[in-house]
Amino acid sequence: MTFQEQILAGIPDALPQPKPYEPEINHAPKRKEILTEEEKKLALKNALRYFEPKHHATLLPEFKAELETYGRIYMYRLRPDYKMYARPISEYPGKCEQAKAIMLMIQNNLDYAVAQHPHELITYGGNGAVFQNWAQYLLTMKYLAEMTEEQTLVMYSGHPMGLFPSHKEAPRVVVTNGMVIPNYSKPDDWEKMNALGVSQYGQMTAGSYMYIGPQGIVHGTTITVLNGFRKIKKSPAGSLFVTSGLGGMSGAQPKAGNIAGCVTVCAEVNPKITHIRHSQGWINEIIDNIDLLVPRVKKALANKEVVSIAYLGNVVDIWERFDRENLHIDLGSDQTSLHNPWAGGYYPVGYSFEESNTLMADNPELFKEEVQKTLRRHAAAINKHTAKGTYFFDYGNAFLLEASRAGADVMEKHPTIGHEFKYPSYVQDIMGPMCFDYGFGPFRWVCASGNPEDLAKTDKIACEVLEEMMKNAPEEIQQQMADNIQWIKGAQENKLVVGSQARILYADAEGRIKIAEAFNQAIARGEIGYVILGRDHHDVSGTDSPYRETSNIYDGSRFTADMAIHNVIGDSFRGATWVSIHNGGGVGWGEVINGGFGMVLDGSKEASRRLESMLFWDVNNGISRRSWARNEGAVFAIKRAMATQPLLKVTIPNLVDEALL
């Protein structure tokens, strides 16, 4: 069958032959055994309900073997034979261009060059899934190919519940991931529900079909690193940035270090992902011997090289050895997947990668003990460096949270609300006050044509819009504007594209609306093809995350999720093509609620109306909340927004004299 015929077939009537396990692919680790015998039967019944009874006898032993071997039922047999990548929108079957755009984005999330564990349908973060199994993928793609503009597809944690009658103004797809009752948001609750096939961890942009490869986080990481050096009043040239993690999101770190202009050392325990990042050009060198790493770093610093070095090993070894060598680290962080500490997100020191994976599956309690022991060592080594002047920040991956739970020395001796840890979140010190409070966040677009020339044209359009805006931008946001113009001018040179022809740019509401409208006009003139707008959930409004996105909220509302819920509701009736709301994000199941959207621009007047209405709300909802929390930059930003939009009337906080208190 052709590609289009396979999409339209959905779950095939005649079962395909079983697929061989491909060891060269980067696979998810075996999940721990958590189901009772009765629950295993339930998991099998849940999986078999996708198939006609005539296939049950064939599939039952196969699915049972998968559950026993991998801890999950992935339905490998149903993995498509065609290559997985974002095709030009014209190659997808369908009755609705918006639905075709969503199919494009789904396939991009599962592209082998993009996805961390493509055969397990996991895009990044160790457990950030697009679907739970391949039957869900096949059925979803079929529904999208059949959809009209009078229908909405409803997605329950990877399961396509079905197409429902709606209308043209409604979202074409509504996605939820992991939205469980709050009392059932512990890590083992996820393990059990995921093994049963009834819920999944969608991360942020994995389960909402808006991941654009590591580029998606490169820009934010570059801003963070640049401003980290500005904070310590030091030039990146000849300075050292040490961190860890080269997986989905964390793989951006070495690239960002190179763009910032420093020496970057990034540890990673997984050889496959390390070599993938090297082959993609996201790291310059790989060193697997700490005795060779030390002189190489000293040489790079002495020569003020701009270089990224991957250390194939545990980051604790770096922190401890660099301390003994008195090798000064200027900036330090960590971006391992500590939201998922017991299932492959963080590995214990003293064990090989293979030994750790075996221990994780066969003796999860000992694995947990070793991880927590490593966290204590990790924190102790960081403390030694910070005593010598290192600036360390938590990169929102739950490092400080999990280290504190392990009993590590990371707590502030005299805590205040929002400042319980020794070290700040990067949002508290950098991204919150500099970007989010002013409405600047990770605006994204994808050229649906798949044509690199379209991407180059959109880069030029975006740059021209920003340069024009900067002429009249207030002093408070001049630095943000300058950084973004510099970023977009270097985007082509830095070869950031992995997978779809996509770009990310930090912009405020005004910038997003003006750039999107300029794209829409270019589409109307026939200069470029359709453009798909989106953003990272890691943004001004989309996410309530007390230790990351909303960590610089100090009015006691950090643990509320009203903003994220209102954000997705508001986006859905203001014109989004699809919307999503998730439990878990980048910091852990039960630790955050985060939402996202996608919007297709087709050059129409309707698209212009939708983009203005939705993007204005999508940003200013969050600025309003941040303003109410008394964040100075957000008060400035929302007053500025009200001055430009007479229909916007936001409650402004009255400040209390501290002396009176």
268 labeled part of a ligand binding site: yes
CB 628 within 8 A of CB 653: yes
Residue at token pair 């060193």: 287
List alpha helices for 325-415, DSSP H. Answer: 353-362, 364-386, 399-405
H/E element holding 637? helix 632-644
203 labeled part of a ligand binding site: yes
Compute the Cα dihedral for 166, 170, 175, 176 and give only its sign. Answer: negative
What CA–CA distance (Å, rounded) separates 269 from 356? 10
> Which two structure tokens, joined as six digits, stand for 53?
């009874």
H/E element holding 611? helix 605-628
Characterize 484-514 residue by residue with b for buried, 16 or more Cβ atoms within 10 angstroms of its Cβ, and e for exposed: bbebbeebeebebbbbbbbbbbbbbbbbbbb
Report the 3 state secondary structure along 358-373. HHHHHCHHHHHHHHHH
162 labeled part of a ligand binding site: no
H/E element holding 444? strand 441-447
Crossing angle of the two packed helices 187-196 and 37-48, in degrees rounded to 10? 50
> Which two structure tokens, joined as six digits, stand for 369?
């003990």
The DSSP result for 434-501, as a single string, is HTGGGT-EEEEEEETT--HHHHHHHHHHHHHHHHHHHTT--GGGHHHHHHHHHHHHTTTTTT---SSS
633 labeled part of a ligand binding site: no
177 forms beta bridges with 582
346 labeled part of a ligand binding site: no
What CA–CA distance (Å, rounded) separates 465 from 482? 13
> Which two structure tokens, joined as six digits, stand for 426?
């990067």
> Which two structure tokens, joined as six digits, stand for 62?
């196969």
> Which two structure tokens, joined as six digits, stand for 147?
């959809």
> Which two structure tokens, joined as six digits, stand for 408?
């590590």
What CA–CA distance (Å, rounded) separates 198 from 49? 12
351 labeled part of a ligand binding site: no
Report the 3 state secondary structure along 210-275. CCCCCHHHHHHHHHHHHHHHHHCCCCCCCCEEEEECCCCCCCHHHHHHHHHCCEEEEEECCHHHHH
**Annotated binding site for NAD(+): which residue ranges?**
125-126, 203, 268, 395, 586
**Annotated binding site: which residue ranges?**
125-126, 203, 268, 395, 586
